[in-house]
Amino acid sequence: MQFQFANQGLAWSDAYFLAQGLLNTVRLAAAATLVGTLAGIVLGWLRTVSVTVRIATAPIIDILRSVPMIIQLILANSLLSILGFGASPFWFGTVALGAWMSAVTAEVVRAGLLSVPVQYRKSARSLGMNGYQELLYISIPLAFRTALAPWIGLVLSLIKDSALAGVVGYIEYMRSTQILITRTHETWLLLMGAGLFYFLICYPVSRYSRHLERKVRV
């Protein structure tokens, strides 16, 4: 008897499956960007003003920046499972990507704050502003202009790295593509499609950042 596979080709219902994967990618990237950026801003500022924090956090930052994302994802998955945080691939992915994002954002924020020429800060203080007023009205706006472009670069990296979250069982876009490839063997078509959609997510981000940079340039 001839062995018969079920329907192997692509079906329209697969489009729905892929769309869900795409949505999951956007959700994961957005959550990790938000968490990582907020944590990174605080961390970067602390690392600028406090030598103790700078020394204490240096190993964490170096590790998060240097260890490949796929290893971080697997470690985060194991660690959080052992610690009893249940089994939410979305949150495991968010923690791993967010931790990386906070480490690299912290360095961008620190570089931005250090790039503010000391004489502007001196001028602000000479007008009677206290340290926080100076930070709020002078240093942050100026650091923002310096940090914007590199930060956007990080967001784009993060969107692409989120494709690795499949290893912790999160069905994001890349994972859903792989599942379909396994079933249909339409490798070329599906991978081209996946590449195209990653481009479609990233390109507007990079365009918008260029627009923003022009707007705030001084």
Partner 1 sequence: MIRISNVQKAFGSAIVLKGIDLTVEKGELVCLIGASGSGKSTLLQCINGLEPIQGGEILVDGISVHDPKTDINKLRQKLGIVFQQYNAFPHLTALENVALAPRVVAKRSRAEARALAQKNLEHVGLGDKGDSLPSQLSGGQQQRLAIARALAMQPSYMLFDEVTSALDPELVGEVLETMRLLKSEGMTMVVVTHDINFARESADRVAFLCQGEVCEIGTAEEVIDHPRKEQTQKFLRREQRKPLEIVRSSVA
Could you tell me which residues come within 8 angstroms of residue 152 by beta carbon, excluding any fewer than 6 positions away? Answer: 205, 206, 209
Residue 27 binds partner 1 (CB under 8 A): no
| Smallest gap from residue 216 Cβ to partner 1 (A) | 8
Token look-up 């052992």 returns 82
Smallest CA-to-CA distance from 107 within 166, 44, 199 is with 44
Smallest CA-to-CA distance from 101 within 54, 45, 146, 162 is with 162
Q: What is the spatial distance between Cα 142 and Cα 52, in angstroms, rounded to a whole number?
A: 25
The stretch near partner 1 (CB under 8 A) out of 45-53, 123-131, 176-184, 202-210 is: 123-131
Distances from the Cα of 54 to the Cα of 1, 24, 51, 155, angstroms: 70, 35, 5, 24
In terms of CB distance, is 8 or 133 closer to partner 1? Answer: 133
Q: Which listed residue (10, 42, 46, 125) binds partner 1 by CB under 8 A?
A: 125
Residue 218 binds partner 1 (CB under 8 A): yes
Residue 115 binds partner 1 (CB under 8 A): no
In terms of CB distance, is 18 or 135 closer to partner 1? Answer: 135
Q: How many CB atoms lie within 10 A of CB 110?
A: 22
Smallest CA-to-CA distance from 48 within 154, 137, 131, 153 is with 131
Residue 119 binds partner 1 (CB under 8 A): yes
In terms of CB distance, is 76 or 116 closer to partner 1? Answer: 116
In terms of CB distance, is 70 or 129 closer to partner 1? Answer: 129
Which residues 128-157 are close enough to bind partner 1 by CB under 8 A? 128-130, 133, 137-138, 141-142, 145
Q: How many CB atoms lie within 10 A of CB 105?
A: 27
Q: Which listed residue (75, 79, 120, 210) binds partner 1 by CB under 8 A?
A: 120
Distance between the two ends of the chain, CA-based, in angstroms? 76
Q: Which listed residue (55, 68, 122, 192) binds partner 1 by CB under 8 A?
A: 122
Q: Which listed residue (69, 101, 109, 124) binds partner 1 by CB under 8 A?
A: 124
The residue ranges that bind partner 1 (CB under 8 A) are: 119-120, 122-130, 133, 137-138, 141-142, 145, 216, 218
